[in-house]
Amino acid sequence: MIRVENASSEAVDRIARRAAERDARVEASVRSILEDVRARGDRALYEYALRFDRASLRSIAVSREEIESAHRSVDPELMASLRLAASNIERFHRAQIREGFSCALPDGSLVGQRVLPMDRVGVYIPGGTASYPSSALMNAIPARLAGVPEIVAATPPGEDGSIPPPVLAALRLAGATEVYKVGGAQAIAALAYGTESIRRVDKIVGPGNAYVNCAKKLVYGAVGIDMPAGPSEVVIVADSTVDARFVASDLLSQAEHDPSAIAILIAVDAGSAEAVRRELERQLDGLPREGIARRAIDGGGAILVADCVESAIELANRFAPEHLELCVADPLALLDRVRNAASVFLGPYAPVALGDYLAGPNHTLPTGGAARFASPLGVDDFARRSSYVYYSKAAFYSASADIARIARGEGLEAHARSALIRAEGEG
C-alpha cells in the first residue's frame, strides 16, 4: 500500500519516469498493430475485436437504427443529466469560437486570416472496462461548434458486439455523423490510414489508455492529433483544512480509470497526509473497481509531505499534471502560482469529477507532463487558420526592392527576381 514520504523533486521525477517507462514498453506492440491495420484493413479490425474485445462482429459500422434504439433505451434521468452536461459544455466551448480578420492599409494592400473547420475528424471514445458518454460529449461538441461536417467516432464494442446505449445516445446528442465499433490502437490506425469501412480522417482527438496514446503519437504526420492524452493523472495540493475523505475519494476517482493512472497527494501537514492514507485504504475496500484502483495507487500513487503550500505548488508545476486540485483554505489566492496544469480545481467542492462530467471545460487534457506545452481540447483543435495577401500594383512596386534585398541576403536569387520582374518598367 502507498506510504507517506517527504516531498521532493526527486520523488516527483521518479513517478514521471515510471509513466515514461510504461509508454516505452507498449510501443513495439502498437507499431505492429498499426502496420497490420494499414496492410489488411477491415480484416485486421475484425480479428482484433475478437482478440481484444472478445466480440465477434458482423459489421464495424453502427447503424442509424442502433443509435436511435440506444437513445430510446437510456434511463430518462440519465438522459436529462447528459443534456445538462451537453448544455454546459456547449456554453463553455461556444465562447472559444474565433473569427478571421483582415487588415487593409491605405496603399490598397490587404492581409488577413480565415478560420476554417476541418473536413473530417475522428473522435476516440474509451471503453472496455467502463463506459464514457461524457467523453462522447467532450470530444464531439467542440467539433460540431467548429463547423466540422464529418465527425467520426470510434469506440470499443462489448463482448456482445454492441456499444453501451448511453455512449451512442451521447454521440447522437453531440452531433457525431458516423460511429464505428473499434477500439484501442487499431482504431487509431483505422482513422489515420483508412480501411474498407472507415475513410481516413484529418485529425484524431480523444483520451485513451497507454496503447491509444502511443498510437496517436506514432500516426502523427499522417494525420493531426490533439495532444498526448493518456492514462489519467491527478495531483492534489492539500493543507490542514481539508477533509481526508474528500481527498481520498478524489485520488481514487482517477485511480479507478486505469491501472496506469497517476494519483499524487502533496500535503503540507503530516497529520493530514496520514489521515488520507488511512482513508484511502478504507475507501478502497469494497470499491467496485478495487482491483484497478489498487494497482494504480500501488504503482502510480504517492503521498508526499511538503513544508509549505508554495513548495507543494512548485512540485506540482514540475509534474505538470492533467488535473490539479487545490484543496486549501484560499485556493483563488494561489491560482496565479500555478503555471503547469491542464485543468485546475479550486477548493473542496470542485473535485475532478465535476470537471469530468458537468462543469463545461473539456476533460480531454494533456498528460505525461505535456501540460507544459499543450492545452485542453477545444474548438481551435478542429479549425485551421489560413492567411491571405492582396497587394495593388503600386503597393507591390513600393515593396519590391525590400523583398529582393532580403531574398538576396538569404542567397535566393529566384525569389528576388520574382519581385523585381514585376517592377520592371515602373517608376
Burial of 426 (0-12, 13-18, 19+ CB in 10 A): exposed
Task: State yes or no: is 323 an active-site residue.
Answer: yes
Whether the pLDDT of residue 271 is over 80: the answer is yes
Catalytic pick among 323, 325, 363, 426: 323
Rounded to an integer, what distance in angstroms lies between the CA atom of residue 216 and that of residue 351?
A: 28
Catalytic pick among 322, 410, 413, 415: 322
Whether the pLDDT of residue 302 is over 60: the answer is yes
**22 confidence band (pLDDT: 50, 70, 90):** low
- Average pLDDT across the chain, whole number: 94
In the chain the domains, ranked by start, together with CATH numbers, are 4-24+231-372 (3.40.50.1980), 41-67+117-227 (3.40.50.1980), 391-423 (no CATH)
112-149 pLDDT, tens per residue? 999 999 999 999 999 977 889 999 999 999 999 999 99
300 vs 139, residue with greater confidence = 139
Contact of 360 with 91, CB cutoff 8 Å: yes
pLDDT given for residue 419 in this prediction: 96
Find the range with the poorest average confidence among 124-133, 365-374, 382-391.
124-133
Whether the pLDDT of residue 7 is over 80: the answer is no
Task: State yes or no: is 322 an active-site residue.
Answer: yes
pLDDT given for residue 426 in this prediction: 57
Query: In this structure, what C-alpha cell is assigned to residue 278?
Result: 488511512
pLDDT given for residue 1 in this prediction: 64
Whether the pLDDT of residue 424 is over 90: the answer is no
pLDDT given for residue 425 in this prediction: 62
Rounded to an integer, what distance in angstroms lies between the CA atom of residue 49 and that of residue 57?
A: 7
**11 confidence band (pLDDT: 50, 70, 90):** confident
Whether the pLDDT of residue 322 is over 90: the answer is yes
Half-sphere exposure of 88 (CA within 13 A, CB side): 17
Find the helix or strand (DSSP H, E) in which 15 lies: helix 9-40
Q: In angstroms, how far apart are the furthest CA atoms of the chain?
A: 87
Q: Can you say whether residue 410 is alpha, beta or left, with left for phi > 0 and alpha for psi between -120 and 50 degrees?
A: alpha
pLDDT given for residue 16 in this prediction: 75
pLDDT given for residue 8 in this prediction: 77
Q: What's the predicted TM-score (pTM) here? A: 0.92
Nearest to residue 239, comparing CAs of 164, 158, 329? 329
142-168 pLDDT, tens per residue? 999 999 999 999 999 999 999 999 999
